[in-house]
Each structure stands twice: as C-alpha cells, then as structure tokens.
Amino acid sequence: MQRLPQTLLRVLRALLVLIALLALLIAYYWVHKPLDLALAGAIGGMALDLASAALIVGVAGGVGRIVMTRVDDTMLSRGERIALEAGLGLSLLSVGVLIAGLIGLFTPPVFWIAVLSMAALSVWRGRGWFTDCRDLVGGLFNGLDRWTILLAAFCALILSTTLLRALAPPTAWDALTYHLVEPTRYLADGRITAQPDNPFFGMAQGTEMLFGVAIGLFGRVTAAAPLHWLIGVLSLIGLGGLIARVAEAGKTAAWLAVTLILSGFSVWLLFGQAYVDLAPLLYGTLILIALVCWQQTRRTSWLILTGILLGMAVSTKYTAAALGVSAVLYVIRYARAKAALPIAIMAGAAFVVFAPWLVKGALLYGNPIYPYVFGGVAWDIQRTRQFNLVDSTLLSDGNAWKLPILPIAATVFGAENGTQFSFTMGPWLLTLPLLLILSWRTLEPNERTLAKDALLIGAPLLIFWGIAAATSGIGIQTRLVTMAFPLFALCGSLALTGMSRWPTKPLSVYFILQAMLVLSLLLESFEVLQTSARLQTAEYALALVSHDDFLSNTLGTYIGAMHELDTLPAGSRVRFLWEPRGFYCPPHITCIADSLIDAWTDPLANGQTPDQIMETWSGQNDGYVLLFDTGYQFSMSEDVRFRAQGLALQSAIARWLTPVWTDGYSYTLYRFNYF
C-alpha cells in the first residue's frame, strides 16, 4: 500500500513531462508553421489519390487470392502470386463495373459498396495476399551484389519520379481526349451511355472502368494515373518473380528484366499518365506465367485462368487479341493432337469475360467490336482511313525495308511524339534478345526452356506488329504492342545472363556490355530528371506551384482557351476544330471535341458542302466554334490534299462566324452569326 503513492507520483511526473513537451511542440509550430494550408492540401490530396489506387489494387489482390485457392499455384514465386491474384481481382472488378454501368449503376455509392464488400472478403479470407506483399517488400533488396544494387537503384529512381508525375494533374494527350473523358462522363450520367461525338467511347474500356472507380471514390480525377502506375508495377513484380524463380542468376536476372522495361523514356512517360497501355503489359506478363504453369502441370484451371486474362487483355486494348493467337499456338505446341479441348476451354473463358463488351458495343453502337469490321454509330469508310492512317504505312511511305528489322528500326528511329513509331524505347529492350543466339549454349536447361516459351509466345506478336505496320499507320506505333514487352525483357535478361558465363579472358564481353548498359542508364536518368524539373512535378508536390500554374506551364495555350470558355454563358455549346482534348471543358457548357481531328474533313469527304456543314452545326444549337489555329495551319502546310478543304473552311468562317476572342497565335473563338 505504501508503494501506491510513489507509483502515482511517477505516473503524474511522466504525464506532466509529456504534457509540457507537447505544449512546447504545439507552441513552436503554431508560430513557425512549416506546413501551410497549400502544402498540407497538396500532400493530403496526393496521399488520398495514392490510397484510393492502393485500396483498389489491395482489395483486388485479396479477392484474387480467394479465387486462386482453386488453382494449384505452389510452384509460383511470391511475386508471381501477387501479380496474378491482383490482376485477376482487377479483371473481375472491371467486368462488374461494366455490367453495373450498363444497367444504370455507374455511381460512387455503388463503387463504395463494391470496394467495401471486396475489402471485407479480403480481410476475411484473402489476408495472405497482403502478407505476401509485406514479405516481398521486406526481402526485395536482400542479398544483392553491387551490380544488382545499381539496377535496383535505377528502377527506384524511375518509379519514384514517374509516381510524382502520376500524382500531378492530368496533362497527357490521350487522357484528355478519351481515357479520362469516358469515366467522368459516365459518372456524370450515372450509367454507360452512347456518346456519338467521341468514337473512342464505343471501344472496349476495361481499364477505364477501373479509372471510374478510382475517380468515383472521392471525386478526384487525379486518382486514375496512380492506379495505372500500380498496374504497371504489378507487371514488373510478376515478371521479376517468374525470372527469379527460373533463372540461376535469380534476383539479378529479375532486376535486369525490370530495368530493360524501364529503360525506355516513353515507358517512363506511360507510368505517369492516365493511359491504358500498362494494362496489356500486365496481362502479357500474367498470360506468360499462366501458360508456363499450364505446360508444367497440365491442369485445366490454368487454361481457364489464361482465358480470363486473355478476355481482359482484349478488353483493355483490341491489339491484345494477338495474345490469343500466341496462346493458341503455345497450346498446340505442347498438346499437339489433343489441343482442341484445351483451346476450347481457354477460348470459352476469354469469351465469357469479353462478352459484356460485345453486348455493350452491339446495344449502344450497333457493332459488338466497334468500330472495326461492321462500322457503327458515327463511323464510315472515311473515318476508318483517318483512324488507321492507311496512307502512312511503312509500305506506302517507302519504308518497307524496316519491316524485316522492325525491333531494331523501332529502337533506332522511334522517338516520342515523332513520326511512325512515336516511342522512345531505349537501346536495349527490343535488341538484347538477339544476343540469345550467341549465349544460348551457356544458358541452363530451365533457362533455355523459359526462353523457348517466351519466343514461342512472342513470335506471333512480332509478326502481328509487322502486319499492322505494313497495313496501318497507327499500327506502326510501338505503344500498341506493350503486351510483348515482358517477353522482350525476359529474353534480353536471359541473353545477358548467358553472356555473364562467358570466359573473361582475353576479353570480358559481359563487362563491356555492363559498362554500356550503365552509360545508357545514366543518360536515361539525366533525361528523366531534366524532364521532371521542366514539368515541375516536385514543385507541384511541395505546393510551390499551384494547380492552375502547373496546368498552364504544361498545357500552355490550351488551358488559356479553356479559361476563356469559362466566361461563356451557362448552357453554351462549343464546337472544337482540330482540338480533340475536351477534358478541361468548363462544366457549365458543352464542348464537342474534334476527337478524330476530322470534324470538318469527314462531312466534306461524304459530300456535304461547307454551308451544309455549318447549317447542320447551327441546327444542333452550336453557338460557338473554337479553332485550334496551330493544328489547322499544320494541316494546311503538311498535307497538300487538305488545302482545298482548308480554304473552304476559311470561306465558311467568313460567311457564318464572327471572331470574339483569340490568343493571337494558337486558338480563336468564333460565335455563330445567328447567336
């Protein structure tokens, strides 16, 4: 009993010290305020966006863990399991959101119910996925030699800088044209509806469904790009896990494959944008894993899983259908005369997953695979030619010689925002696989088997790319075959792994290749840091640059034009010409973006006169026309076939429209004379 007062005194003394220190801390920061409201808001907003994306991926992984209990995955590494289960869960969520949207339930409350339900399932039965993630992160950098640490450091730099870009306001071209326009319009309508003014809405939108959930949870469009970033990270985790499990070099080979993918500047851009191209990257990785597991076990469950992933891959990008051809040929290679049933099982699962998109296309656009083959709403032969750039193929441009060396040509001549390939790939991803020919004998048997599987799956994708490049200008773009990047990275990593076993005397070729790779990574790092500084992503994250200033610095005169539209009366309708980006249109007016940059040329090609076009627009109650003068002048100077149509536009403008605003060089806003 005598100890009680002493114990009480010690507790009181401790409380007094803590209260005094807390009071001191509060008083100090009450005066100094290192976090002002702007910085706190910026950090809080970015944390909320990243948390939204992580929540979606996390609950998807937990649900995927539950579904995968029916699949014997004991041979998988931790990284493969994490990626497969999250990819499967994201697929199920995407299909569910599509079905909900078609019946009028594309709303935030429905999304919250879905996510919370998945979270409850994940906590109840899918906790193992989160445990695997914790253990993977904990052991990611253990036991690395200096070479592997250098590769890991480069990957960390790329992923961290591109995450800052992903957390900034969206500015990428396609995101502002349709990737973000689609989910935000559906959220505004509360359902998935036909949108004839933007043909991109008619295509499959598997990733945009997930964007809709990310945006809908807290009403923040900036949550979409971090989700895309995480999808890309899942792909890297899955690919690294597969290679680490099979290759004798283990983590070194895994980090090398990840480095090869991230070494392209355009890949760095993709990781920071609300695009969909990292979804085919993920499904290309997962399908490779699933097919390899089927070949090793011959269990039907792996065929069903492959089919689900194939259906989802095509739901994200039609070009991923080439993966289906690869999968069929792979099954034929190993099942031979008994391949019919496995192919039917795989195709059936793919059809079930993709079927809701067929229904959506048929119901809303009159074509289950809109706009291909059967045309459909707001589509014609002229738009087919315009969209596919059939006059700008490698054959028509006199570049047929690039077809036999397509990976090398894409590496050397590909440049972001350039012609043809429009992608800065970096020097290694598409070229190092060629060294497999020289290093084949030094590979271990299990490495050779994995390389054969990758080549078997990748060869049809390369042939598909060649056919697309020969027949379509848009098919040349490297970005359309991101589903093949994991295969290139795997083969390149194994090629370098084999060369690491070559004799070091009289010349260490492997050491020289390492030095060349380090040099290119240093140059890539410099370009990334320079671009990050120019875009001011770090300054935005630290609230040194405001939201409006960031957009003005990045989008330039486009944002100025949108600010001008913000002054128009509520309910105004503005027709865009040569400007496809409608995302930042002020909410109180309606913008009809020129999504395919053919709003003027398409009706002319279909026989309408300039006056008829203007009369049609006026009949639709368009009050204004916003002309992107820069794009218009570019068409006038670069395409001689357009000049007559361009001059016709000038004459029509003089008769029908009155200029009311211009920034002097990029944009002019006109008002219809009757208005």
Instruction: Convert the pLDDT of each residue in 95-148 to its tens digit.
Output: 999 999 999 999 999 999 999 999 999 988 888 999 999 999 988 888 889 999
In DSSP terms, 659 is beta-bridged to 670
**Residue ranges of the chain with per-residue pLDDT less than 70:** 1-4, 641, 675
Indicate whether 665 and 600 sit together in one domain. Answer: yes
Eight-state DSSP code of residue 169? P
Is 64 part of any domain? yes
Would you tell me the crossing angle of helices 643-656 and 610-619 to the nearest 10 degrees? 50
| Domain end residue (candidates: 534, 564, 593) | 534
Residue 281 contacts by C-beta under 8 Å, 6 or more apart in sequence? 231, 232, 235, 261, 482, 483, 485, 486
Helix, strand, coil percent content, the chain, rounded in steps of 5: 70, 5, 25
**What type of residue is 264?**
G
Indicate whether 515 and 600 sit together in one domain. Answer: no
User: Cα separation of 524 and 516, whole Å?
Assistant: 12
User: Cα separation of 370 and 374, whole Å?
Assistant: 7
Structural domain count, the chain: 2
Q: What pLDDT score was predicted for residue 636?
A: 83
Is 299 part of any domain? yes
Is 4 part of any domain? no
| Closest C-alpha among 483, 424, 493 to residue 458 | 483
What's the pTM?
A: 0.94
Sign for the CA dihedral angle at 3, 5, 6, 11 comes to: positive
Indicate whether 491 and 565 sit together in one domain. Answer: no
Instruction: Convert the pLDDT of each residue in 331-383 to its tens digit.
Output: 999 999 999 999 999 999 999 999 999 999 999 999 999 999 888 998 988 88
What are the DSSP calls for 86-103, one per residue?
HHHHHHHHHHHHHHHHHT
| Domain end residue (candidates: 481, 502, 534) | 534
User: Cα separation of 337 and 488, whole Å?
Assistant: 29
Would you tell me the crossing angle of helices 322-335 and 340-365 to the nearest 10 degrees? 170
User: Cα separation of 78 and 233, whole Å?
Assistant: 14
Would you tell me the crossing angle of helices 127-139 and 108-125 to the nearest 10 degrees? 80
In DSSP terms, 622 is beta-bridged to none
Indicate whether 507 and 634 sit together in one domain. Answer: no
In DSSP terms, 591 is beta-bridged to 574
User: Cα separation of 528 and 522, whole Å?
Assistant: 10
Is residue 39 within 8 A of residue 211, CB to CB? The reply is no
Is residue 254 within 8 A of residue 241, CB to CB? The reply is yes
Task: Give the HSE-up count for residue 300: Cα atoms under 13 Å, Cβ half-sphere.
Answer: 7
Q: Is 657 helix (H, G, I), strand (E, B) or coil?
A: strand
Structural element, H or E, at residue 624:
strand 624-628
Q: What pLDDT score was predicted for residue 675?
A: 63
Residue 600 structural domain: 556-672
Is 440 part of any domain? yes
User: Cα separation of 253 and 338, whole Å?
Assistant: 35
Task: Report the Cα–Cα distance between both ends of the chain, in Å, rounded.
Answer: 92
Instruction: Convert the pLDDT of each residue in 535-555 to its tens digit.
Output: 999 999 999 999 999 999 999
Residue 207 exposed, middle or buried by CB count within 10 Å (0-12, 13-18, 19+): buried
User: Cα separation of 536 and 551, whole Å?
Assistant: 10
Indicate whether 374 and 448 sit together in one domain. Answer: yes
What is the residue whose two structure tokens read 């395919």?
Answer: 596
Indicate whether 438 and 565 sit together in one domain. Answer: no
Indicate whether 473 and 564 sit together in one domain. Answer: no
Q: What pLDDT score was predicted for residue 584?
A: 97
Indicate whether 370 and 495 sit together in one domain. Answer: yes
Is 33 part of any domain? no
Is 346 part of any domain? yes
Indicate whether 467 and 432 sit together in one domain. Answer: yes
Q: What pLDDT score was predicted for residue 133?
A: 95
Q: What pLDDT score was predicted for residue 620?
A: 79
| Domain end residue (candidates: 534, 569, 599) | 534
Is residue 279 within 8 A of residue 317, CB to CB? The reply is yes
Is 34 part of any domain? no
In DSSP terms, 577 is beta-bridged to 627
User: Cα separation of 323 and 458, whole Å?
Assistant: 9
Is residue 176 within 8 A of residue 584, CB to CB? The reply is yes
User: Cα separation of 356 and 514, whole Å?
Assistant: 48
User: Cα separation of 239 and 487, whole Å?
Assistant: 9
Question: What is the chain's alpha carbon radius of gyration, rounded to the nearest angstrom?
Answer: 27
Is 546 part of any domain? no
Indicate whether 469 and 500 sit together in one domain. Answer: yes
Peptide bond into 371 cis (omega under 30): yes
Q: Tell me the Ramachandran region of residue 221: left when phi exceeds 0, alpha when psi lies from -120 to 50, beta otherwise.
A: alpha
Indicate whether 96 and 163 sit together in one domain. Answer: yes
Indicate whether 477 and 603 sit together in one domain. Answer: no
List b or e across 307-328, with b for residues whose CB sees 16 or more CB atoms inside 10 angstroms: bbbbbbbbbbbebbbbbbebbb
